[in-house]
Structure 1
Amino acid sequence: MSSPALPLPPTPSVTTPKIVEVLKPEVKTLERVLVDFVSAGAATLAIAPVVICLIDRSVIENASGRSKSVLASVGTSLKTLFTSPHKFIFSKPFALIYLTYCGTYLSANTVDTISSIRNGTDIKTVTAGPEKFATTSIVNMSLGLVKDRSFARMFGTGSPRPVPAPTFVLFAARDALTIFSSFNVPPLLAPYMPQDMLMKPESWAQFLAPASCQIFSTPLHLLGLDLYNRGNVSWKERCKMIKTNYFPSAMARMCRILPAFGFGGVTNAAVRRSLLETLECR
């Protein structure tokens, strides 16, 4: 006689959990490009292009002998600024300064945006590789050489004439040093900067690197100007001119570079990061 079949235990009901897909809002490329433009424009306004225009002119006039000193040239320019501010702000030198730095910041921002899209990284990622150095150098050199050519012809000695090729080469080398120290060195230098409440390490690096670079780039700048201003002069005379004008020119260029790529670089990075964070939250 077979034993009665035991009842099977009830099959437990299995409830399949609903999979909730959380989609991150798409950050459109056009909006990110707009952020790059706004950040570059804001940074250029923040660097006080009036100050840079004054200093650039004073260094050229001092090196050419049109002014007895850097401070004397700055004083003359300040007098013009206060008596006819509209003429100064809407002048060709001011426009050249704005175009040069806005274009440089925009190129750096664009490289970061393209890199993050291509690699699928955080949209706020800041690069420090050869791609950024090459792009920003080409843009800055191109715009900077146009600016320097115009400044040398406007504020140099003698009648306007073609700028010699060696001067272009020296200016290009000067700009390459400045770009490298302004966009590539700060991210590498930041980990070694002090940690305090006054400024972030990134900000310390952004101020220190380009300012220190002027120690090496100022002789290139002065030699390039001298080759334009004095065609047939011995190298001994050129070295004497560089030695005489080195300290005031280096100090002036440091004061110029701090707003240009120090404070301007910090402003560009801060504005861009803030706007991109806003896009992420949308």
Structure 2
Amino acid sequence: MSTAKPRSNSDVITTGSRSADSQPSSATLHHEHVPLSHTLAAEAASAFASAGLVAPIITIIDSAIFRNASGTEPLFAGLASGARTFVTRPFHFIRQPACLFMFGVYAGTYLTANTIQSVCDYEGWDWFYPKFVGTSIANVGLCVAKDVCFTRWFGSGKARPVPWSSFALYTSRDCLTIFASFNLPAILSQKMTTSWGIDKRPADIAAQLLTPCAVQFISTPMHLLGMDLYNRPAAQASERGAFIAREYGKSTSARIGRIFAAFGIGGVANQYFRHNLKGWLHKVHGSG
């Protein structure tokens, strides 16, 4: 039986630091008499609610980025068009394949992270590496599949196979984002609490909001190049460099917005739903 210090139920979607905080205590083993099936149902509800909250926002931003990269519609016009459709015809918007696909991407990501952590807590295992690896596989796979579809739906010209180079760039981009969303927040939060004297809860939230956004300055060129390889297969290296330089500023800003929604707002929402649903379960089962 583990004797590490107790953890709170306020875990964000990040993996946490690999310290005593990442180990379940004897009090949290078996979730204090809450059946695992009930806990997993709460984790699924948290994942679906969080994904539903952010999917429309991310869909608007992503579709505008892809249309802009293909030259079919300027970025800000695409953002305005998507927002207008969502506001005036919300039920039509959320039934579109792009929005449904986006919901699936983030529901799958949050559900994987939540489930792995709860199962590991239930069994008394350290969830740091299982959660990171499992969530990385889920998110990268889902995001690359989504980007292949978006590239075809919103790209220019007749639909054609997406080149392997685009697959590789999308995968590298997502690995960076996952690392910044699931590992770096814990490191930054610990730095903020130990060196800057910030309380743990606000440090967790601030780190969760900041790190996924900051990495977009590095990953956006990968995203742009992956799209350009599909849209202009015969372009020269100098032409691709000029395209990335021209689109970098506004595309980075747009991707910061989508990542802020996906792993900032979505991560904090997931934290909120998990904390409250688990608290309710503990009360129902007489262990709160």
Shorter-chain TM-score range: 0.7 to 0.9
Q: Which residue of 2 aligns with 1:240?
A: 242
Task: Give 3-state SS (helix, strand or coil) of 1:112's partner.
Answer: helix
Pick one of 35, 46, 50 that aligns with 1:43. 50
Listed one character per residue, the Cα deviations across residues 143-168 of structure 1 (whole Å, up to 9, x for unaligned) are 11221111111111001111111111
Q: How many residues align?
A: 251
1:178 aligns with 177
Q: Is the 8 A contact 1:195 1:201 kept in 2?
A: no
- 1:63 alignment counterpart: 69
Residue 191 of structure 1 is matched in structure 2 by: 190
Per-residue displacement from partner, 1:62-118 (whole Å, max 9, x unpaired)? 111111x21011122234334433321111001001000010000111111121122
Partner of 1:98: 103
Match of residue 219, structure 1, among 213, 218, 221: 221
Q: Is the 8 A contact 1:59 1:70 kept in 2?
A: yes
* Structure 2 residue aligned with 1:4: none
Partner in structure 2 of residue 33 of structure 1: 40
User: Structure 1 275/174 Cα, relative in aligned 2: closer, same or farther at 3 Å?
Assistant: same
Q: Which residue of 1 aligns with 2:119?
A: 114
Q: Please identify, of 98-107 and 72-81, the stretch whose mean Cα deviation from structure 2 is larger.
A: 72-81
Unaligned runs of at least 5 residues, structure 1? 1-23, 122-126
Structure 1 residues 99 and 153: alpha-carbon distance in aligned structure 2, compared to 1, 3 A threshold: same
Query: 1:156 touches 1:229 (CA, 8 Å); kept in 2?
Result: yes
Q: Distance in 1 between matches of 2:175 and 2:125?
A: 29
> Counterpart of 1:16?
none
Q: Secondary structure at the match of 1:223?
A: helix
Please give the alpha-carbon distance, in whole angstroms, between the structure 2 residues aligned to 1:134 and 1:120. 15
Which runs of 4 or more aligned residues in structure 1 lie more than 4 Å from their structure 2 counterparts after TM superposition? 194-197
For the residues of structure 1 that align with 2:32 and 2:129, how far apart are their CA atoms?
31
For 1:278 and 1:195, locate their aligned partners in 2 and report how far apart those are by CA, in whole Å: 32
Deviations 1:230-256 (A, max 9, x none): 101111111110000000000001111
SS at structure 2 position matched to 1:161? coil
Q: Secondary structure at the residue paired with 1:57?
A: helix
Sort the Cα spacing of 1:234 and 1:103 in 2 relative to 1 into closer, same or farther, 3 A.
Answer: same
The residue aligned with 2:166 is 167
Query: Structure 1 vs Structure 2: percent identity of aligned residues?
Result: 37
1:120-160 superposed Cα distances (whole Å, 9 cap, x missing partner): 68xxxxx4x33222111111112112211111111110011
- In the alignment, the residues of structure 1 paired with residue 276 and residue 88 of structure 2 have an alpha-carbon distance, to the nearest angstrom, of 38
Provide the TM-score with structure 2 as the length reference: 0.82
Rg larger for: 1
